[in-house]
Amino acid sequence: MLEPIGVRGADEATYNALVRRTQATAPELAQDTHRSLPATRRALQALVEAGLATRSAGRPPRYVVVPPDRAIEAVLREREAALRDTRRHIGTLMETYRASTRFAHPGELVEVISGQDEVNDRWTRMQQDIRVQMRGFDRPPYAAPQGHGEPNHVELALLERGVTYRVVYDKSAVELPGLLDDIELGVRHGEQARIAGDVPMKLAIADDRLAIMPLMRPGDPALTASYLIHPSPLLDALIALFESVWTRSVPVRFGADDPGELSADESKLLALLASGVTDKAVGRALGWSERTVQRHVTRLMQRTGARTRFQIAMEATRRGWI
């Protein structure tokens, strides 16, 4: 049980015997543990160095156990501080690693992953290894017939763990029936979502160390190939591209600060209108007829005192609805 704090299994028997006695000589503990006297003395020296015991100056010397709660907690705090220092040092090491690998092995900076199982496996592992944030572009086509299909349970678990997810969705994606519900699920769990008029590609960037770019053509039944981009000028360019598109995209919120101000349907309608989606596309996304869309838009104009859709967006922004 004490190996994680540096006490070997063989020495732990000596420590347990000393805890039972609270203080003892080396011969007494050797007898209790059925170990040789030299081995017992080495174990006691290790316990003293670890701060788990003290040694008296008398003859023969006696060893006194430090109360385990105080002694072991002190060792744990030292270990945790050392681990934090090591974790902070990772950033320095990664900077050195990136600088060394960018041009040393250019053929290894971009991998082509082939095969549906291999692509899915690398995508799952990439998400599980995230420490700080995931950034992504999302746009059709999708392998699932109804868009995203099942919710991304890995993403939801990471959001609960505190990982930041920022995703820019192409407006052609939010036009698909049911996909806005998937986005809302992510946003409710902490995803930061935005909508852009022309997302250039599918892309996911894990922290600043790895990106995956799926290769999928319209009509493909499954995702069977992807580029995997390692730290390199190309990865830096993709990160810069994401941040540029993110800055000029429309933030998505579902519901105002006061839940009574907007219905769930009105929140979705505002998000779609702000991204420039047409009435026909809004109808497809929400399962409404164009006349129903126009009726909801007219109602929003009346509530906000707006005369145009642009004024609706301005007033909704001022009120914190979008």
Q: Whole-angstrom Cα distance, residue 208 to residue 164?
A: 13
Averaged pLDDT for residues 76-100? 76
pLDDT at 150 exceeding the cut of 50:
no
**What confidence category does residue 5 fall into, taking pLDDT thresholds of 50, 70 and 90?**
low
- pLDDT by residue (tens digit) across 272-283? 777 777 788 888
Q: Whole-angstrom Cα distance, residue 135 to residue 142?
A: 18
Could you identify the residue written with the tokens 């082509």?
Answer: 112
The torsion of the CA quartet 93, 98, 103, 105, rounded to 10 degrees, works out to: 80
Give the mean pLDDT of the chain.
80
pLDDT at 322 exceeding the cut of 60:
yes
Kindly report the pTM of this predicted structure: 0.58
pLDDT at 92 exceeding the cut of 80:
no
**What confidence category does residue 202 fall into, taking pLDDT thresholds of 50, 70 and 90?**
very high
Q: Considering only 53-67, 92-106, 242-256, which range has the smallest mean pLDDT?
A: 92-106
Cβ-contact 322, 270 below 8 angstroms? yes
Q: Whole-angstrom Cα distance, residue 206 to residue 227?
A: 14
**pLDDT score for 149:** 45
Q: Whole-angstrom Cα distance, residue 211 to residue 233?
A: 12
- pLDDT by residue (tens digit) across 116-130? 888 888 888 888 888
- Token readout for 206 is 């894990």
Cβ-contact 172, 140 below 8 angstroms? yes
**pLDDT score for 165:** 92
Q: Whole-angstrom Cα distance, residue 136 to residue 249?
A: 13
**pLDDT score for 133:** 93
- pLDDT by residue (tens digit) across 211-244? 999 887 766 667 788 999 988 888 999 999 999 9
The number of beta carbons lying within 10 Å of the beta carbon of residue 26 is 22
To 10 degrees, what angle do helices 153-161 and 179-188 make? 20
**pLDDT score for 29:** 84
Cβ-contact 215, 187 below 8 angstroms? no
Greatest alpha-carbon pair distance for the chain in Å reads: 99
Q: Considering only 31-40, 241-250, 271-280, 281-290, which range has the smallest mean pLDDT?
A: 271-280
**pLDDT score for 301:** 82
Cβ-contact 290, 283 below 8 angstroms? yes
H helix intervals, 64-146: 68-101, 116-128
Averaged pLDDT for residues 82-106? 71
Cβ-contact 134, 191 below 8 angstroms? no
pLDDT at 259 exceeding the cut of 50:
no
**pLDDT score for 77:** 82
**pLDDT score for 244:** 94
- pLDDT by residue (tens digit) across 57-85? 778 888 888 887 777 777 778 878 888 88
Could you identify the residue written with the tokens 């993709």?
Answer: 238
How are beta strands 225-229 and 110-114 bridged, if at all? antiparallel
Three-class secondary structure of residue 18 per DSSP: helix
Cβ-contact 46, 8 below 8 angstroms? yes
**What confidence category does residue 195 fall into, taking pLDDT thresholds of 50, 70 and 90?**
confident
Averaged pLDDT for residues 133-149? 75
The percent of residues above 90 in pLDDT, for the chain, comes to: 11
DSSP state of 31: H
Q: Whole-angstrom Cα distance, residue 137 to residue 198?
A: 10
C-alpha distance across the termini of the chain, in Å: 54
pLDDT at 302 exceeding the cut of 70:
yes
Secondary structure of 48-60 as H, E, C letters: HHCCCEEECCCCC
